[in-house]
């Protein structure tokens, strides 16, 4: 597959991620390819979830579905995959029925011996790289292509819990009973993520996002102790490896959902990422005040507003716009998004309305 890709026609996302002013805010939506789209459900009816991930033509198809449906309204595509392909690459079995479940979670530090000692990402995750390369061609330069991985803390939690959790009993047992073993496992996961993310850029990803969906389960102290160091390691090492490989650097985004204490925000902003993705429990104005001008911000409408109909969506976009932008100025270092993934019950036409409202209200000169 040729690595000479079609020229990019819309670089709003990349400019905003670098903190620049843009004529309007670029917009994309976490989980934009997925179950709220009937065309995704049609593919899903014919194929298992991980089969779609592992089949580059299918992964490309579902990645492109929202780009086609919302033609001209989305400013990025995100490759269809899942954060749990990394635990799979490390040797763990993961099922999707309908949520993720691990038949053999890591109950104690002794179980770490069951993981693959050396993970060859080209061998284990080459199918994601192939999907990225094909999709980058399939996009024909319309919008940039985002690659991603889970953050080590969120992946660790899945690997020891064996699935989702309300209490995080097992993950917290690990952290507080075996802190050193926990840190070692977190860094081991981080090193796999580094190789995986570098491989994604080599394959065609133009921006990388690291999802720490469960960061908010930790105290500020434990976030700083356990979650942030491996996330920081990822940013540092990815940049080093790209430079060493002569591969142009790409912007990096960290989504540490719920890590919203001022000290956590300040620390996350200093972790080596270009953009922080924030959830809806933060006011963007306050977040900017806390983190200063050094990082771009992404977010942050409550995904639940998409259930509220057009008037509610429009009003929430207006408030979001006013919160992210200086009065009268152009958007600067702001990527419009939801504060977490879009949910399966959303009407795709309400998603369209959200995108249209962002275009309208974030355009320079428009009144918020």
Ligand X SMILES: Cc1c2[nH]c(c1CCC(=O)O)Cc1[nH]c(c(CCC(=O)O)c1C)Cc1[nH]c(c(CCC(=O)O)c1C)Cc1[nH]c(c(C)c1CCC(=O)O)C2
Chain residues binding ligand X by CB under 6 A are 30-35, 44, 49, 78, 80-84, 96, 98-100, 148, 164, 211, 213, 341
Active site residue 68: no
> Concatenated DSSP letters for 303-336?
GGGGGSHHHHHHHHHHHHHHHHS-TTSPPBSEEE
The CA-based angle 137-138-139, given to 5 degrees, is 90
Minimum distance of ligand X from residue 356's CB (angstroms): 20
Mapped onto helix, strand or coil, the DSSP state of residue 1 is coil
Comparison of 82 and 217: residue with beta carbon closer to ligand X: 82
Mapped onto helix, strand or coil, the DSSP state of residue 137 is helix
Query: How far is residue 240's CA from residue 235's CA, in Å, rounded to a whole number?
Result: 9
Question: For tokens 């917009």, what's the residue?
Answer: 27
Query: How far is residue 80's CA from residue 65's CA, in Å, rounded to a whole number?
Result: 10
Active site residue 31: yes
Alpha-carbon Rg for the chain, nearest whole angstrom, is 19
Comparison of 30 and 320: residue with beta carbon closer to ligand X: 30
Q: Which of 31, 69, 202, 319 is catalytic?
A: 31
Active site residue 18: no
Q: Give the count of beta carbons closer than 10 Å to the beta carbon of residue 344.
A: 13
- Pairing status of strand 296-301 against strand 207-212: unpaired
Q: Which of 36, 70, 158, 273 is catalytic?
A: 158
Closest listed residue to residue 116, CA positions, set 189, 216, 35, 200: 189
Minimum distance of ligand X from residue 205's CB (angstroms): 12
Mapped onto helix, strand or coil, the DSSP state of residue 279 is coil
Minimum distance of ligand X from residue 53's CB (angstroms): 8
Question: For 291, phi and psi rounded to 5 degrees?
Answer: -85, -15
Minimum distance of ligand X from residue 32's CB (angstroms): 5
Burial class (CB in 10 A: 0-12, 13-18, 19+), 8: middle
The CA-based angle 221-223-226, given to 5 degrees, is 100
Comparison of 297 and 332: residue with beta carbon closer to ligand X: 297
Comparison of 98 and 103: residue with beta carbon closer to ligand X: 98
Q: Which of 11, 75, 82, 195 is catalytic?
A: 82
Comparison of 84 and 288: residue with beta carbon closer to ligand X: 84
Minimum distance of ligand X from residue 291's CB (angstroms): 21
Question: For tokens 């105290």, what's the residue?
Answer: 219
Active site residue 44: yes
Active site residue 288: no
Q: Which residue is nearest to ligand X (CB)?
A: 213
Minimum distance of ligand X from residue 48's CB (angstroms): 9
Comparison of 151 and 288: residue with beta carbon closer to ligand X: 151
DSSP classification of residue 365: T
**Which residues are annotated as catalytic?**
31, 35, 44, 82, 158
């Amino acid at each position: 597959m040729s690595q000479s890709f079609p020229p990019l026609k819309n670089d709003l996302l990349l400019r905003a991620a670098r903190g620049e002013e843009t004529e309007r805010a670029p917009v994309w939506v976490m989980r934009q390819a997925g179950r709220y789209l009937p065309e995704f459900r049609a593919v899903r009816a014919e194929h298992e979830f991980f089969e779609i991930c592992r089949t580059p033509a299918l992964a490309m198809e579902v990645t492109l579905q929202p780009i086609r449906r919302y033609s001209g309204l989305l400013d990025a595509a995100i490759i269809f995959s899942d954060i749990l392909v990394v635990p799979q690459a490390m040797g763990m079995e993961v099922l999707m029925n309908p949520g993720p479940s691990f038949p053999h979670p890591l109950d104690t530090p002794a179980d770490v011996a069951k993981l693959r000692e050396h993970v060859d990402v080209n061998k284990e995750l080459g199918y994601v790289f192939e999907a990225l390369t094909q999709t980058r061609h399939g996009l024909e330069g319309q919008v940039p292509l985002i690659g991603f991985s889970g953050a080590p803390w969120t992946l660790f939690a899945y690997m020891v819990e064996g699935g989702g959790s309300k209490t995080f009993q097992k993950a917290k047992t690990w952290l507080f009973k075996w802190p050193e073993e926990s840190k070692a496992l977190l860094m081991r996961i981080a090193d796999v993520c580094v190789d995986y993310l570098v491989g994604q850029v080599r394959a065609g990803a133009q921006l990388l996002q690291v999802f720490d969906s469960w960061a908010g389960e930790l105290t500020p102290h434990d976030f700083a102790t356990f979650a942030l160091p491996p996330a920081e390691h990822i940013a540092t090492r990815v940049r080093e490896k790209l430079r060493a490989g002569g591969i142009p650097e790409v912007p990096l985004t960290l989504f540490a959902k719920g890590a919203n204490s001022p000290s956590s925000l300040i620390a996350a902003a200093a972790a080596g990422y270009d953009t922080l993705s924030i959830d809806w429990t933060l006011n963007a104005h306050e977040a900017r005040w806390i983190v200063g001008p050094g990082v771009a911000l992404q977010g942050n409408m409550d995904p639940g507003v998409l259930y509220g109909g057009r008037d509610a969506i429009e009003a929430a976009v207006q408030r979001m716009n006013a919160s992210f932008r200086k009065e009268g100025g152009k958007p600067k270092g702001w990527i419009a998004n939801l504060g977490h993934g879009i949910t399966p019950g959303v009407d795709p036409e309400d998603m369209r309305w959200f995108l249209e409202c962002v275009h309208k209200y974030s355009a320079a000169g428009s009144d918020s």
